[in-house]
Amino acid sequence: MKAINPATNELIKDYDEHDESAVKDILKKVDNEFKSWRNTDFAHRSKLMNKAAEILKKNKDDYARTMAMEMGKPVAEARAEVEKCAWVCEYYAENAEKFLADMEIETDASRSFVAFQPLGTVLAIMPWNFPFWQVFRFAAPALMAGNTGVLKHASNVPGSALKIEEVFQEAGFPENAFRTLLIGSSKVEAVIKDERVKAVTLTGSEPAGMKVAAVSGSVLKKTVLELGGSDPYIVLEDADMPACVQTAVKARMINNGQSCIAAKRFIVVKSKLKEFEEAQTNIMKNLKVGDPLDEDTQAGPMARQDLLDELHEQVMQSVEKGAKVLTGGEPMDSEGAFYPPTILTNCKRGMKVVDEETFGPVSAIIPVKDAEEAITVANDSDLGLGGAVWSQDVEKAIEVARRVETGNMFVNGMTKSDPRLPFGGVKKSGYGRELSVFGIREFVNIKTVWVG
């Protein structure tokens, strides 16, 4: 299992994979740990989770460097990611007991209530684009609920996976409360089917989600799936354009554009089209692209060369179909997997940059005549993860937000995850929710207790 620096194509380290015997041994140990971990009290769990937050903050430079080297994230963004992981640990350390307290319900019984009890070992199948955050937003609530966890991380970020395991162990969690499995995708099905695994959460592609759901369903195991997104960014005629455009660039370029909730389809009313195009192009073409370890870098390389090739094919097909390139559009002449910030306009259905998720620094601008057409275009997608709408008429924007078919909509802001708010999608963007009270209740037994 090789970790390769996408900025230089150089090998960072070659890791030994866990063989079948090692995998079974880890699952056995994690399952055994659950039997005692589930009986710990919230005060004890909170103490350890707050310690994990302290370790994250103390070592954020080291963890940020690991992420930058393994998948190309600008180190400044990586540092912010570690800080966000500390926040989610602190959030659940503070709130888990309240979220999982017995819920009294008045019925014909002398007493009736709902109890929330842990399920057991939860398998997390996580992607490379946010190597720490994607894991911690699962692990913090799962462990606080009394579950144990095993992580199958993306194969190109094994160093990040092992450092996360170390965080929990250094914080004082039992050695086998959270473990990393260094395995390839071909070995995941056997882990899902292992009787010691009680539930599965996956963040990843639509094909991966369908396969995990099918395998989990065959053995009747609960799943939460957070899949791709082709998020609409709706610009109405009364949008605050300076703020709208600045946020549009950030929303498209975060993590080098490799984010499921990055703004991807910019749906702009024609009265604002020229102003939006010129302003976004002026900013995007001047972003500093380079070494992700440089503090001034605003966009690093894509995580792998094959991902760059796929993105460029989407761009070329769309240009052949009539899209116009405003900036970028060709791979950069460099050793690493660098693709320039790119803007295409005159985009429409039938083009890959509209019909498919673009996982990289490419904006697709779609002109529309008004808010009604913007809603129609926004909903004309198989995906429904996040989105944004910009208007100084807040009530109108909220009405548009209600009508767009996504799991998250942001008014006059960019889509982002927040420990306090539920996160997830609809349609082919998956099901279930992470974060907030809703996320911690995904992997518990919601048990009714009735007393005569």
What is the CATH classification number for the domain harbouring 393?
3.40.309.10
Pure H helices in 100-205: 133-144, 158-170, 188-193
Q: How far apart are CA 179 and CA 164, in angstroms?
A: 9
Of the candidates 103, 122, 125, 121, the one whose C-alpha atom is nearest the C-alpha of residue 113 is 103
Query: Hey, which residues are catalytic here?
Result: 226, 260
Whether residue 209 lies inside any domain: the answer is yes
411 and 445 together in one domain:
no
Number of other residues whose CB lies within 10 A of the CB of residue 64: 24
Question: How high is the pLDDT of residue 77?
Answer: 97
Question: How high is the pLDDT of residue 356?
Answer: 97
What is the CATH classification number for the domain harbouring 447?
3.40.605.10
Whether residue 117 lies inside any domain: the answer is yes
Q: How far apart are CA 137 and CA 331, in angstroms?
A: 33
Domain count, the chain: 2
Whether residue 439 lies inside any domain: the answer is yes
The mean per-residue pLDDT over the stretch 172-193 comes to: 98
Q: Is 422 exposed, middle or buried (0-12, 13-18, 19+ CB in 10 A)?
A: middle
Residues 6+ apart with CB under 8 A from 3: 11, 12, 13, 14, 15, 69, 70, 156, 157, 158, 159
188 and 251 together in one domain:
no
Q: How far apart are CA 42 and CA 99, in angstroms?
A: 11
259 and 379 together in one domain:
yes
Render pLDDT for 145-167 as a digit per residue (tens, 0 to 9). Answer: 999 999 999 999 999 999 999 99
247 and 119 together in one domain:
no
163 and 257 together in one domain:
no
The mean per-residue pLDDT over the stretch 392-418 comes to: 98
92 and 216 together in one domain:
yes
Question: How high is the pLDDT of residue 11?
Answer: 96
Whether residue 275 lies inside any domain: the answer is yes
Domain membership of residue 370 as a residue range:
231-418
pLDDT mean across residues, the chain: 97
Whether residue 423 lies inside any domain: the answer is no
Residue 291 banded pLDDT, cuts 50, 70, 90: very high
Question: How high is the pLDDT of residue 428?
Answer: 98
